[in-house]
A and B are shown apart, each in its own frame.
Chain A
Amino acid sequence: MVWSIFAMSMRQWLNRPWEVVLALFLPIVFFSIFATIFGRGLQSDRKKKISISVIDEVSDHQSIKLIEVLKKQGELQFVDLTESVTPHQQAKDLIQRGEIKACLVIKIATTSESTDASTQAIPWAIDILSDQSDQLAAAYVESALQRHMMQLAWWGGDQSNTKSPTWTNAGQSAKMTGSGRVMNDRMTTAQGVHLAAENEVLLAPAINAGTATYSIDDGVQVQTNQADQGSAIRKQQKMANRLNDDGTGAPNDMEMVPVKIVNLLGDGKANPVISMYAAGIAVMFLLFNATTVGGILIEERSNQTLDRLLSSNLTMDQLLLGKWFYMTFLGVLQITVMFVWASLVFKVDLAGHFDGFMMMTIATSLAASGFGLFMATLCKSRTQLTGVSTMLVLSMSAMGGSMIPRYLMSESLQKIGLLTFNAWAIDGYDKVFWREMPVGSLAPQLAVLALSSVLFLCIARLLAIRWEVK
């Protein structure tokens, strides 16, 4: 008997092809999307994706050299600031608009930033002005900055030198080789030799553990595991700055160049992730709801209610428009409830951004409703609608940033994501709640969403012709 139930259920399942597709192929589709996004590691495809600007207030040969080195490395894409406006304000505007991810401000270290600026080897401080909503960009810029500053301090960033620093990533190990010359004017060869000896002490635990090797040839060669290199390098920097001219070690309380990440857009705001996920989740459920409600149209067709309606004074145009407005209203209500909750519990500032919020919400709901009607007129049965819409909505949500932020994706995937409602809606809500841009800046998002809604509605109307007189 048990076997009979099993066999009967299997047979029923196999006789419903859409359920087979949902059960077997939808996970594959999803897995593929996530594997594509994460398979080569975060930021693996982001070599030239971090756009930054630089404001060099120091403008000495060291800072110029540093900027040169950074530009040559090719990890960062530099956006020049014009001279017509205050560079700081321009940088802030660019960050707010999302056109750059960060701005390096190289400045003279203030007293608060350095305990002894006069004796600091490089009397700078560097601020990284950034947008906290991209939680990786500022950290990535800082990492690149620290790395190149170290190279600059030791070897002057001279790539033509055969012993100039090379930095290679080879799985879990990194190798830095270079000459023993340091570009710090204060460091002599004696200091370099002393520093090398200090390095040996410093790296002793790692050397003993077999995770690092150290040799002094005509250069200082350090090979260590990637996990160690950050702290080892920083300590070496500190050591370099502490040495006396004769090479003896004496604490001078010299600090390395202080680097500070300044979040330009985060003051007084809730975590940017919250408003981003509020938008992402809202759009995803909006799409699910729209396709579910659209399914009522299929039921009306199957139980002849549609025939009855069309036999009255009601036209197909009126029917579809009425459903569209209803679904849009439902969508607006759904998103509003969700954001009110976000406002009350997670401190999203809804009241302060109500106009932009409503514009985005109405446009997104219109688009989602049009999509729902399109799906309902396309599919022949509820089962088919459920299968197709689940696949489409989940895929769009994954690609469009409803599940994971698009800044984690490669450039190509980010571009593909723009084919979804989700990406445009999330960008719009991001502009409203995080970047606090004027409502006029929503024009591209509103235009795309409005056009999408009209397009889908028109296609739905064309498909509905087959339900009219045969």
Chain B
Amino acid sequence: MSNSRILDDTPALSIQDLRKRFGKTNALDGVVFKLHQGERLGLLGPNGAGKTTLVRCIARRIRADQGDIVLLGEPMAPTGTSPSLGIVPQELAIYEDLSAYQNLYFFGRFHGLRGRELKHRIHWALEWTGLKDRSSQLVRHFSGGMKRRINLACGVMHSPRVLLLDEPTVGVDPQSRERIYVMIDSLSEEGCSILLTTHHMEEAEWQCDRLVIMDRGRVVADGTIDELIDQSVGPSRSVRLRIDGHSLRHHPREFGFLRKWEPEIVFRSDEEQVVELRMNDVAQYLPAILEQLSAQSVIVRDIEVQPPSLHDVFLALTGKHLRDV
């Protein structure tokens, strides 16, 4: 694969007003977004938002009630598959009673690969996953991270131009996760367009070019991280003050002035508390706050200023309430 696979501006994947109803529930309620060629798009949403339903619609496992899915400029048929599309499910959809080589072999065959081409791809996949030395070992004996890598490899044996990754790093340790990111990076470098669903905010923030956030079957936000921040929490910053524990407990009224910044006070211990504030203009307000605290003999041990994160954006857009589906 090479960047020459990005031929023009045609979106790799275009979701147009997709709707799907299960009984009384609108699993998809007019979903619209695009995945550009060579792009890595993160799909986020709370449980029950419709992410899995959307992925299964694209994979042609569920038939949408309404709407179109256009793959590389061609509308996808209601049934059947496309050789340009690869799918890596969240579950470890591999055969544990087969070796790594055998899994790659059979999934390659199921995708239409034969003979020398198949052998070449198997060899590539084993190198790519770093499992060449374990090729003859049964997958049953692999660690979780190794199984994830084989799971990923089985989905790209046929060199798809568009790849659906459903939570590719769930349940793996940080080292394995890093390895999988490297593997995904190499796919992107070769021009593969990737739609990635994840619950890890850091993963979405650092691994994706653009993000789509879904909630209750609809897209509630679509854009880069900066765009999403501007659309939701705005330029506000999180300011965390670590202060002496006795002060706030014994003199609560003196801290009333912090109310306008919606403080969140975390009592860590008798010796230490953390006050978290959110403010747009740190340069203007923080010095005043520190001055007033000092006047009240409050000892500020540490100050931390953080820009808004995807976590903040997500909670701002979807709320903090549990979604028990």
Q: Which of B137-180 contact A (CB under 8 A)?
A: 154-155
Given A311-B81, A312-B111, the answer on whether A470 and B63 have CB atoms closer than 8 Å is yes
Question: Do residues A309 and B110 form an inter-chain contact, with CB atoms below 8 A?
Answer: yes
Q: List 19 A-B contacts (CB under 8 A).
A: A303-B92, A304-B89, A307-B59, A307-B61, A307-B87, A307-B89, A307-B93, A308-B87, A308-B107, A308-B154, A309-B110, A311-B59, A312-B81, A312-B111, A313-B81, A314-B110, A469-B61, A469-B62, A470-B61
Return the contact of B90 from the options A304, A314, A469 (Cβ within 8 A).
A304
Of A303, A311, A312, chain B has the most CB atoms within 10 Å of the CB of A311
Question: Do residues A304 and B62 form an inter-chain contact, with CB atoms below 8 A?
Answer: no
Residue ID in chain B nearest A318 by CB atoms: B110
Count, chain A residues at interface, CB 8 A: 14
Count, chain B residues at interface, CB 8 A: 25
Main secondary structure of the interface of A (DSSP, over half): loop
Question: Do residues A312 and B107 form an inter-chain contact, with CB atoms below 8 A?
Answer: yes
Of A303, A308, A310, A470, chain B has the most CB atoms within 10 Å of the CB of A308
Residue ID in chain B nearest A308 by CB atoms: B93
Q: Does A305 contact B (CB under 8 A)?
A: yes
A-chain residues with CB within 8 Å of residue B154 when the two chains form the complex: 308
Question: Do residues A305 and B59 form an inter-chain contact, with CB atoms below 8 A?
Answer: no
Return the contact of B62 from the options A303, A308, A470 (Cβ within 8 A).
A470
Beyond known contacts A305-B93, A313-B111: 15 more, CB 8 A cutoff:
A303-B92, A304-B91, A305-B91, A305-B95, A307-B59, A307-B61, A307-B87, A308-B87, A310-B61, A311-B81, A311-B85, A312-B81, A313-B112, A468-B79, A469-B61
CB distance from A298 to the nearest CB of B (A): 14
State the CA gap A470–B61 with chains docked (Å): 7
CB distance from A350 to the nearest CB of B (A): 32
Residue ID in chain B nearest A314 by CB atoms: B110
A-chain residues with CB within 8 Å of residue B59 when the two chains form the complex: 307, 311
State the CA gap A245–B60 with chains docked (Å): 102
B-chain residues with CB within 8 Å of residue A308 when the two chains form the complex: 87, 89, 93, 107, 154-155
Given A309-B110, A312-B111, the answer on whether A303 and B91 have CB atoms closer than 8 Å is yes
Question: Do residues B93 and A303 form an inter-chain contact, with CB atoms below 8 A?
Answer: yes
State the CA gap A311–B60 with chains docked (Å): 7
Q: Does B75 contact A (CB under 8 A)?
A: no
CB distance from A406 to the nearest CB of B (A): 39
Closest 9 CB pairs of A and B: A312-B110, A305-B93, A304-B89, A304-B91, A308-B93, A304-B93, A303-B91, A469-B63, A312-B111
